[in-house]
């Protein structure tokens, strides 16, 4: 039903825009903010802003919470959302963005699965004068005019917080501490930046040694698979640094299957602070969790409305985040939303 009314609305909006465009051809039709028409949307005659959103997929509870936040906030903000699931494939996200350009949405937002390879499709959006907002993950481009803002976490800071906890935990120790790293999706901003931040924090402490690193794809299955490989390859692993909770939970599965006690025999640090992660922390199976907040929907909708109105946006909007030890996890769990 929602899709039908969306299509109708867009057809009508497209038609009115086309007529307006041909009437205004001598005046130079093309500015998205000026070209918007009354679609009869919410608010009794006010324009309903349309947003095309391309999501990465549903690899983690973080992602599921992020999707819900975007969808719920669009409804509350009265924004017509065209939501497309990229299913972990960059090609799917590129196709979705092209589709949004053809549908002439007011604003495009997306969470890029990997950092590189977006310039061509974003140039198409720019040529169509549709503002683009990056949410959650950054892209790697020299042309920053291809997007208006990036809303989301500082992943380098998250990596630094994870590394700093380790530095403090092993302060004064001289013997080698062997660390394995279960990375997020190869080429993604959180994987790249969380590795950089962590490396930065521990590099002045030569006894903290990262002995292996592998992609766990931000999933529990991936984390378990990678941890099994590490256990088969390395004796005496002291610490696991997993780039998200799911990978950390997978590492717990692998350690328990190998007869080891996660959180005691091997310390585990993760990022996200989802309910599953905090429960494992409260149970003593994880040791430290860095927060990455997925509830970006309300801020995103504010930015979308401003972009649609032609307002200037800040180039970066960073989410507020904290860290969790066992006591803090127990304290927040009863009210944790995701």
**Considering beta carbons, is residue 226 or 292 the nearer one to ligand AHR?**
292
Report the residue from 82, 106, 115, 136 that binds ligand AHR according to the rule CB under 6 A: 136
**Considering beta carbons, is residue 62 or 230 the nearer one to ligand AHR?**
62
CA distance 178 to 159: 17
Q: Which stretch binds ligand AHR (CB under 6 A): 55-63, 86-94, 115-123, 329-337?
A: 55-63
Binding mask 190-209 for ligand AHR (x = CB under 6 A): x-------------------
**Considering beta carbons, is residue 50 or 61 the nearer one to ligand AHR?**
61
C-alpha dist (Å) from residue 325 to 59, 89, 104, 234, 270: 25, 35, 47, 27, 11
* Site size for ligand AHR (CB under 6 A): 12
What is the token pair recorded at 1?
A: 């039903």
Residue 25 burial (C-beta neighbours within 10 Å; 0-12, 13-18, 19+): exposed
Binding mask 91-130 for ligand AHR (x = CB under 6 A): ----------------------------------------
Segment 252 to 311, residues that bind ligand AHR, using CB under 6 A? 271-272, 292
Report the residue from 50, 53, 59, 303 that binds ligand AHR according to the rule CB under 6 A: 59
Report the residue from 55, 60, 67, 92 that binds ligand AHR according to the rule CB under 6 A: 60
Phi, psi of 207 (to 5 degrees): -80, -15
Q: Rg of the chain over CA atoms, in angstroms?
A: 22
Least distance CB 325 / ligand AHR (angstroms): 19
Residue by residue, DSSP assigns 67-124 as HHHHHHHHHHHT-EEEEEE-TT-HHHHHHHHHHHHHHT-SEEEE--SSSSS-HHHHHH
Residue by residue, DSSP assigns 302-319 as HHHHHHHTT----SEEEP
CA distance 138 to 146: 12
Segment 206 to 245, residues that bind ligand AHR, using CB under 6 A? 218, 244
What is the token pair recorded at 55?
A: 């999501």
Q: Which residues bind ligand AHR (CB under 6 A)?
A: 59-60, 62-63, 136-137, 190, 218, 244, 271-272, 292
């Amino acid at each position: 039903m929602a899709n039908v009314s969306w299509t109708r609305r867009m057809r009508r909006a497209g038609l009115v825009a086309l007529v307006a465009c041909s009437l205004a051809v001598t005046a130079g039709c093309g500015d998205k903010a000026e070209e918007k028409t009354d679609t009869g949307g919410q608010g009794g005659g006010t324009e309903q802003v349309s947003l095309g959103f391309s999501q990465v997929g549903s690899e983690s509870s973080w992602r599921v919470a992020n999707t819900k936040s975007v969808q719920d906030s669009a409804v509350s903000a009265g924004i017509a959302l065209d939501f497309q699931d990229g299913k972990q494939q960059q090609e799917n996200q590129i196709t979705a963005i092209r589709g949004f350009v053809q549908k002439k949405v007011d604003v495009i937002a997306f969470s890029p699965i990997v950092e590189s390879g977006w310039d061509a499709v974003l140039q198409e959006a720019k040529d169509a004068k549709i503002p683009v907002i990056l949410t959650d993950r950054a892209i790697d481009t020299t042309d920053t005019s291809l997007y208006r803002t990036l809303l989301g976490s500082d992943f380098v800071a998250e990596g630094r917080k994870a590394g700093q906890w380790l530095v403090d935990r092993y302060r004064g120790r001289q013997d080698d501490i062997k660390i394995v790293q279960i990375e997020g999706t190869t080429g993604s901003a959180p994987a790249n930046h969380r590795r950089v931040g962590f490396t930065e924090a521990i590099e002045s402490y030569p006894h903290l040694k990262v002995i292996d690193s592998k992609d766990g794809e931000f999933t529990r299955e991936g984390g378990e698979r990678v941890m099994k490989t590490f256990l088969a390859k390395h004796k005496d692993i002291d610490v696991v640094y997993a780039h998200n909770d799911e990978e950390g939970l997978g590492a717990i599965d692998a350690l328990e299957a190998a007869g080891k006690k996660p959180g005691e025999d091997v310390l585990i640090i993760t990022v996200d602070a989802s309910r599953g992660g905090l429960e494992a922390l409260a149970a003593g199976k994880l040791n430290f969790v860095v927060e990455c907040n997925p509830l970006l929907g309300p801020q995103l909708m504010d930015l979308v409305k401003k972009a649609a109105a032609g307002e200037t946006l800040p180039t970066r909007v960073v989410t507020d985040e904290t860290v969790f030890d066992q006591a803090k996890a127990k304290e927040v769990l009863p009210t944790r939303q995701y």
